[in-house]
Amino acid sequence: MQSHEESGSVYLLQKPNRLQDDYGLVYMCFTMLGVGALLPWNTFLAPSDYYSALYPNSPFYFLMSMAYNSTGIIALLLSIKFGQRLSFGVRIVPVLIIELLVLASVPLLTHFVPHKLSMWLVLALVFVTGFISAILFSSVVGLASLFPPQYVGAVMTGNGIAGIVTAGLRIITKVSLSTTENSMEISGGIYFGIAAAVQILVLLSYFLLVRRPFAVFCLATSGNSKENHVGYVPVVSSPPSRVPSYAGIQQEEKRGVRSPPENESMPLFQSRPSSIATVMGKVWPQALNAFFVFFVTLSVFPGVSNEIKPHEKEGPNWYPEWFQIILITLFMIFDFIGRALPRWFRFPSKYLWVLVLSRFVFFALFLLMVLGGPIIQSDPSAFVVMSLLAISNGYCGSLSMMYGPQYVDPHEKERAGAVMSFALNLGIFVAICFSTLPLYLIKGSLRSIVFGG
Q: Tell me the pLDDT tens digit for each residue of 83-92.
A: 677 788 888 9
- Reduced 3-state DSSP string for 275-294: CHHHHHHHHHHHHHHHHHHH
DSSP secondary structure letters along 378-431: SHHHHHHHHHHHHHHHHHHHHHHHHHGGGGS-GGGHHHHHHHHHHHHHHHHHHH
State how far the Cα of 181 lies from the Cα of 375, in Å rounded to an integer: 43
Which residues make beta-bridge pairs with 11?
Answer: 6
269, amino acid identity: F
Query: For residue 11, which phi and psi values (nearest 5 degrees)?
Result: -115, 120
Report which of 383, 392, 365 is spatially closest to residue 328, judged by C-alpha positions. Answer: 383
Q: How many CA atoms lie within 13 A of 428 on its CB side?
A: 22
d(CA 83, CA 89): 12
Q: Yes or no: say if 149 and 138 are a contact pair by the CB < 8 Å rule.
A: no
> Mind listing the pLDDT tens digit of every residue in the chain (453 residues)?
444 333 333 333 344 444 688 888 999 999 999 999 988 988 887 776 777 777 877 777 778 877 887 787 788 778 777 767 778 888 899 999 999 999 999 888 888 888 788 889 989 999 999 899 888 988 898 888 888 888 988 998 898 888 888 878 877 877 776 655 566 677 778 888 888 999 999 999 999 998 888 888 888 876 554 444 333 333 333 333 333 333 443 444 344 433 334 433 333 333 455 677 888 888 999 999 999 999 999 888 877 777 777 766 656 666 777 787 788 888 988 998 999 898 888 999 899 999 999 999 998 888 888 776 555 667 888 889 999 999 999 999 999 988 988 888 877 888 888 888 889 888 888 887 787 776 666 666 444 333 334
What's CA 227's distance to the chain center, in Å? 22
> How far is it, in rounded angstroms, from Cα 61 to Cα 342?
32
Confidence (pTM) = 0.72
Query: Hey, what CATH topology would domain 22-213+272-451 get?
Result: Growth Hormone; Chain: A; (1.20.1250)
Q: Identify the helix (H) or strand (E) that includes residue 59.
A: none
End-to-end CA separation in angstroms for the chain: 79
DSSP letters along 238-278, please? S--SS---HHHHHHHHTTT-----SS-----PPP----HHH
Contact 298, 61 (CB under 8 A): no
Which of these, 336, 334, 450, 311, lies nearest to 384 by C-alpha position? 334
